[in-house]
Structure 1
Amino acid sequence: METTPMNPNRGGGERFRTPDKPTAAERQQAREVSLRRIARLFTPYRWSVAGVVAIIVAASVVGLASPFLLRAVIDTALPQQDVRLLVLLTVGMVAVAAVTSVLGVWQTWISTQIGQRVMHGLRTDVFAHLQRQSLAFFTRTRTGEVQSRITNDIGGMQSVVTSTATSIASNLTTTVATAVAMVALSWRLALISLVVLPPAIWLSRKVARMRREITTEQQRELADLNVTIEESLSVNGVQLAKALGAGPALVERFTASSTRLIDLELRSALAGRWRMAAMSVLFAAIPAVIYLSAGLPMTRGTMTIGTLIAFTALQGQLFRPLMGLLNTGVQVVSSLALFQRVFEYLDLPVDIDEPADPVHLTAPRGHVRFEHVGFSYPDADRPALADVSLDVPAGTTLALVGETGSGKTTLGSLVARLHDPTEGRVLIDGVDVRRVPLAELAEVVGIVSQETYLLHTTVRENLRYARPDATDAELEQAARAARIHDLIASLPDGYDTVVGSRGHRFSGGEKQRLAIARTLLRNPKVLVLDEATSALDTETERAVQEAFDALAEGRTTITIAHRLSTVRDADQIVVLDHGRVVEQGTHASLLADEGRYATLAA
């Protein structure tokens, strides 16, 4: 089935808009929901996560032996000149470092694998969910915005998803274990060291809130930048810019957006930096306070030199995991803005979804019927279609004519469920198309649009996009039917010729014939031709029309046309005006009535 949208959003529609700024209560609720949903992302890998946590705990416990070994070296082995004990203790230190390093590599490998699988799941879930969205969603949403959510937002989440769980487990375990060891060495000094925790946690929460707001602004600005790139650097965009001399204005727009991104990046990098710097100074001052405390008259003689050195070593080790834990908390909170943007797409309702009670068209004949069909685009002033009832027997031809905006394309799109009617129903062989599985409907109904879209790949792959298992002989047969085989065969690379971006290697008429061949590969029982010959010259149009006439045997064809010469031989012609049927009959009978059709034909 032709994949090009059929004159999308002809009836209007709004662009996809970012939700209004939430209240404090809504932000808190969104935070809680996001944290639960983030945790659920790891559910399929819970045993692997448990294994990583076990490795982290083991590494932390093994690492705690180092300060006690150091104390034994200073207080026992060196003063007593016990070489054997000294060798054992130093070997133990090396062994502890080796074991923790090996465990660290193992833990990193497993956790990175988990994170990458979670990212893969998110990307594919968002892409698959967007594939299920109706045409209306894409007509009101900027393409660059969609790309930004999949690339920038999910990409920005990668470090958080990949390392957050393990970072929290590692730093939390190390912090708790180190604090326990410090208490075991000297509970008095431990109290002095841990007094900095409350202000550190408070400052981290403030920094997290600041960065989350900045991250939201960053992603919006990146989306705008993507839109500018998509609209300005596509082939059609470049042609338009050159034709209108809009290049300097586009550069200015891009520069302004990029400049705003610089400011946001600086704000993000410096958010809370002074607060965290103050914490670093405070942590660095703790050893000096410990040495001072150890030398005061009331504490003199209560600890050995080895205990003091081991304790200060532990205190130094506490700073890194504690700050890591606080920084991870900042990253998680700030990344919630990214998760919410991604979840917003995942939560989009599907307007046109698979039927709950599907009916299969096992041997479709192609009998199409419209029963009191009405359709309105969102926010449109008037309905695009109103009370349209038509019967198109299998194997016959229906031609839809009328002025621009009369509803011809909209009516044709309802047959393939590019839209669903807001009133009435469309039936194929007596079955409402809303009850037919989407993949099956795509096999029954083929569309050739006036807006041909070709992929930036070879002719062969463009044709196989409709039917991947098609043989070369079938490709050639479809191309011959569309009167395009001879041209393809004359090219140096034949069917392996790359069509270029959006098919710009070929003329408009050649692209349209390729689209016709692509659709015919599916051999649909119902053909919807939306001005499919509009880009063809008179001679080529005649050749393609002959091919359509031959192929129409045993096939139901709905033709939408401005050129009335292409519909003279249709079994029935319907004239639409403002979404309503105003005339219906054959070419001869409508001319004899001297009504709207006769006026159009004049």
Structure 2
Amino acid sequence: MPRDEIAWTPPPVEPGQPRQVRRILKLFHPYRGRLAVVGLLVGAASLVSVATPFMLKEVLDTAIPQGRTGLLSLLALGMILSAVLTSVFGVLQTLISTTVGQRVMHDLRTAVYDRLQRMSLAFFTRTRTGEVQSRIANDIGGMQATVTSTATSLVSNLTSVIATIVAMVALDWRLTVVSLLLLPLFVWISRRVGNERKKITTQRQKQMAVMAATVTESLSVGGILLGRTMGRTDSLTRSFADESEGLVDLEVRSNMAGRWRMAVISIVMAAMPAVIYWTAGLALQFGGPAVSIGTLVAFVSLQQGLFRPTVSLLSTGVQIQTSLALFQRIFEYLDLPIDITEPERPVHLDQVKGEVRFEGVEFRYDDKSTPILDGIDITVPAGGSLAVVGATGAGKSTLSYLVPRLYDVTGGRVTLDGVDVRDLDFDTLARAVGVVSQETYLFHASVADNLRFAKPDATDEELHTAAKAAQIHDHIASLPDGYDTLVGERGHRFSGGEKQRLAIARTILRDPPVLILDEATSALDTRTERAVQEAIDALSANRTTLTIAHRLSTIRGADQIVVLDSGRTVERGTHEELLECEGRYAALVRRDAQLEPTR
């Protein structure tokens, strides 16, 4: 994708099932060796199972009538051995095929997760978290039967059907023709059922995604607090019940789709032995060639053996068509265009001084939207500090997100030590730029684990040093479990100021030469803000700092202050210089003074 475009377009739609099936088959390509073994086991099992009716024919036509006890014993032993070998081959093929299927599911889950990890921030601002979770959990989970057993079942049943038909022809071709007359009708019915279930499955998975999103949002800590305080608990329950009711209907329709038609097939197949006996009797009645009792029993045994794999084969075809809907939803995510990619020949910087420049920067979400940023030219020398202020929606946060490439510019460029950030490798950017935002995210893990997310190999001493610098060590040490204390979902066990100081300690541990503070104290009360600001001052020392300011009292010492309005730079200078100008900045300072609480 060109650098001056970041607009998201829907993923390409597959033109038809054949291409999608080929794509599914490619998922199994890395495991073709194991699948070849499964094929050999399936072939061996089919040959062994087909041999049993022929041994039964010899028992009835030769061994028993002629009183050949030795032959009878060998045939009986052969039939027992055939059953044992068939079972052993079946267990082995199930083990291998299940292992291959689970590996394919692992590959799919990992591929989707990796794809989503590389998506730009814009994707997640327009996609519900529950929808993403549903694709990984429900859609891929729904494929389990298909990828673990369907492929083997298809090969096994197809091999059994072919081997059985060949054996039936060898016994009596006329009876075989009678047995197979209705097979084309059965195939047509199964395809109709498969198409019907595929449509219903697509609707069902969408409904499950909606439910997953509702659960994720309404049963989080924030969702529970909002629902309780707004008195919406009952209405949320009713809304969820309505969504669940819709899923019930889709599940019933999915399970019942074509059930009567498939039942008719089962009835007809079960009645076929009677047709075979009737046909053999008519042939004898009208002077046709006689069929021996052994041949007739062996043929019916084969015909009954044909019943199970044929019905299973038709059901497998239905299942495959149904699973295509799930694969399509997964492929939609795998086909999402990645807006922010690492260059083919990325630049790696071993040492980053920290000079940041915005050169003619323009940013817009798509070609039709108005620019969020337009013509921004700013230079922040290494170790210097820049503060960006302005009204809500002026583009302050967007400007800061361009440095770590959470977004890419649509015009101009952003450089780090003279190198366009789009030309740097991701490792250099991750090491060079640290972000502390207003909304601190903490995992549901221990304090130590949350801090070590920045530096997995950090020692306990390093954790303590970072926490002390962030002025949170004493509080952590006072907890019953100290650094092993679980922070709760999104850090709910800690106050806003404590979470901010944990985030600062985490960034100190990362030790980036460039620091971005995105309204890091705007949601805090005055007393907590002072404590957090002291931690921020310690963090900012000797680093290039870009501060998105809400309270202007925190940025008076900045080397340079830039005022944004509608994405454009309208003022710049130091705190004193801008006050003398009596412009936008001076007005913002007066507003802050009026809002400042009386001490």
Q: How many residues align?
A: 583
Partner of 1:403: 391
AA paired with 1:298? F
Distance 1:241 1:378 in 2: 35
Which residues in structure 2 correspond to 1:24-103 (within 5 Å)? 29-103=15-89
Cα offset, 1:89, TM superposition:
1.1
Instruction: Within 5 Å, give how 1:470-549 maps onto structure 2.
Output: 470-549=458-537
Q: Is 371-380 or 99-108 further displaced after alignment? A: 371-380
SS of residue paired to 1:416: coil
Selected match of 1:390 from 378, 395, 407? 378
Correspondence for 1:4: none
Q: 1:581 to 1:209 in 2, by over 3 A?
A: same
| C-alpha contact 1:512 1:535 (8 A) present in aligned 2 | no
Aligned match for 1:414, one of 402, 407, 411: 402
Partner Cα distance (1:473, 1:202) in 2: 71
Which secondary structure state, in structure 1, belongs to the residue aligned with residue 16 of structure 2? helix
Name the aligned partner's letter for residue 138 of structure 1.
Answer: F
Of 294, 297, 313 in structure 1, the residue corresponding to residue 301 of structure 2 is: 313
Q: How many Å separate the matches in 2 of 1:380 and 1:164?
A: 47
Measure, in 2, the Cα distance between the counterparts of 1:508 and 1:530. Answer: 15
Equivalent residue, structure 1, for 2:434? 446
- Alignment partners' CA distance in 2, 1:557 and 1:380: 33
Shift of 1:18: 8.5
- Deviation digits for residues 70-98 of structure 1 (CA, Å, limit 9, x no counterpart): 11111111112222221111111101101
User: What is residue 234 of structure 2 aligned with on the other side?
Assistant: 248
Per-residue CA deviations over 1:254-285 (Å, capped at 9, x if unaligned) read 11111111111111111111111111121122
2:402 match: secondary structure: helix
State which of 352, 355, 366 in structure 2 corresponds to 1:367: 355
Partner of 2:200: 214
Question: CA separation in 2, counterparts of 1:548 and 1:534?
Answer: 13
| 1:345 matched to 2:333 | yes
Answer whether contact 2:157 2:312 (CA < 8 A) is retained: yes
Query: Which residue identity lines up with residue 575 of structure 2 in the other structure?
Result: H
Percent same amino acid at aligned positions?
A: 61
Q: Once the 2 structures are TM-superposed, how far is the Cα of residue 356 of structure 1 from its aligned partner?
A: 1.7
- In 1: Cα distance, 2:16 partner to 2:439 partner: 41
In structure 2, give the amino acid aligned to 1:84: G
Structure 2 Cα separation of the partners of residues 439 and 151 of structure 1? 30
Corresponding letter in the other structure for 2:86: T
* Structure 1 residues 551 and 232, CA gap change in structure 2 (3 angstroms): closer
Deviations 1:464-487 (A, max 9, x none): 111111111111111111111111
Structure 1 gap ranges (5+): 1-12
Rate the CA distance shift 1:246–1:551 in 2: closer, same or farther, 3 A.
closer
Partner SS, residue 576 of structure 1: strand
In structure 2, the residue matched to 1:426 is 414
| TM-score (ref. length: structure 2) | 0.95
Q: What residue in structure 2 maps to residue 6 of structure 1?
A: none
1:293–1:299 contact (8 Å) kept in structure 2: no
Question: Where does 1:174-193 land on structure 2 (aligned, <5 Å)?
Answer: 174-193=160-179
In structure 1, the partner of 2:291 is 303
The one-character-per-residue Cα deviations of 1:422-458 (angstroms, maximum 9, x if unpaired) are 1111001000111111122011000000011111111
* Distance (Å, rounded) in 2 between the aligned partners of 1:337 and 1:80: 60
Q: Aligned-pair distance for 1:552?
A: 2.9
| Root-mean-square deviation (Å) | 1.7
- Hey, what does 1:204 align to over in structure 2? 190
Equivalent in 276, 279, 284 of residue 265 of structure 2: 279
What's the TM-score, normalizing by structure 1? 0.94
Match of 2:559 in 1: 571
Task: Tell me by how many angstroms 1:549 deviates.
Answer: 3.0
CA change 1:380–1:408 in 2 (3 A) is farther
> Which ranges of structure 2 fall in alignment gaps of 5 or more residues?
1-5, 591-599
AA aligned to 1:42 is F
- Cα distance in 2 between the residues matched to 1:189 and 1:175: 16
User: Larger relative CO (CA 8 A, sep 6+): 1 or 2?
Assistant: 1
How far apart are 1:300 and its partner, in Å? 5.5
Structure 1 equivalent of residue 246 of structure 2:
260
Q: CA deviation at 1:377?
A: 2.4
1:273 and 1:381, CA in 2 relative to 1: closer, same or farther beyond 3 A?
A: same
Q: CA deviation at 1:381?
A: 4.8
Is 1:239 the counterpart of 2:235 in the alignment?
Answer: no
Query: What secondary structure does 1:446 align onto?
Result: strand
Q: Distance in 2 between matches of 1:255 and 1:379?
A: 41
| Deviations 1:83-125 (CA, angstroms, capped at 9, x unpaired) | 2221111111101101111111111111111111111111101
